Amino acid sequence: MFFDTHAHLNAEQYNDDLREVIDRALEEGVSRIVVVGFDRLTIEKAMELTEQYDFIYASVGWHPVDAIDMTDEDLRWIEELASHPKVVALGEMGLDYYWDKSPKEIQKEVFRKQIQLAKKVKLPIIIHNRDATADIVAILKEEGAAEVGGIMHCFSGSPETAKECVDMNFYISLGGPVTFKNAKKPKEVAEAIPLDRLLIETDCPYLAPHPYRGKRNEPSYVKLVAEQIAEIKGVSVEEVAEMTTANAKKLFGII
Ligand code: NI
């Protein structure tokens, strides 16, 4: 069985056929999915999905691109949701220096507040990083994020950075890009990081794996990510599925 640790089934791209998308995931052996909410609308929708499907869990947080919109009330709301039995993590949170909607200083402040909240409610965190590796690693260290640990989501950095994150109690999650022919770094990371620190994800509807690159992604495709990791590591896809599922269950506290 596969565990998709990062899916946005709460995105409008699934408005017309969510049921079919979920059925295809179940047919392919995807038996656990964490739906990630990152603003008011997507958090509400993620929570609804956890009520509708017993194998769907939620992670709730505030995306760095929209950091400028987060109010104290939003943070209190996230804190309330954190005690919901199906909320298994906080995030995605982090830094995104590609888009400039939210100034860096505000992104950092919102990131720090969410790490502090995660420590208070004792939940792991899911990290979004775009062009901001050095600042993310520094903040995780300064805020003592190792206490809760979490996930470097859709990791695209070097094996060295991946190891540094593992040393800070984080798992490395690989998605569609590891299957791209020209993706050197994710393949190196898949090789360098032991299976007991790896997770798999789709980040759907984005980043569909090969041969669906550029199309809408969905949880059933997480199998392609697992197959690529299995090939790189020279192990069976069953072993990758089993280990990454066990890792995710342990991190999220799911039995
Ligand atoms: Ni995401």
- Specify the 3-state DSSP secondary structure of 243: helix
Fold exhibited by the domain 2-59+68-252? TIM Barrel (3.20.20)
Residues 125, 97 contacting (CB under 8 angstroms): no
At residue 206, the pLDDT reads: 97
- Say how many Å lie between the CA of residue 8 and the centre of ligand 1: 7
d(CA 203, CA 240): 18
The reported pLDDT for the residue numbered 255 is: 85
CA distance readout (Å), 5 to 142, 150, 229, 245: 26, 11, 15, 9
Centre of ligand 1 to C-alpha 30, Å, is 18
* 3-state secondary structure at position 172: strand
> What does pLDDT average to in each consecutive run of 10 residues of the chain (255 residues)?
98 98 98 97 98 98 97 98 98 96 97 98 98 97 98 97 98 98 96 98 98 98 98 98 98 95
Is 84 within any annotated ligand binding site? no
pLDDT value at residue 231: 98
What is the 178 CA–ligand 1 centroid distance (Å)? 16
Burial class (CB in 10 A: 0-12, 13-18, 19+), 10: buried
pLDDT, position 49: 98
CA distance 130 to 35: 20
Expressed in angstroms and rounded, the spacing between residue 93 Cα and the centre of ligand 1 is 9
User: What pTM was estimated for this model as a whole?
Assistant: 0.97
Q: How far is the CA of 7 from the centre of ligand 1 (A)?
A: 7
**pLDDT score of 88:** 98
Distance CA 95, CA 72 (A): 19
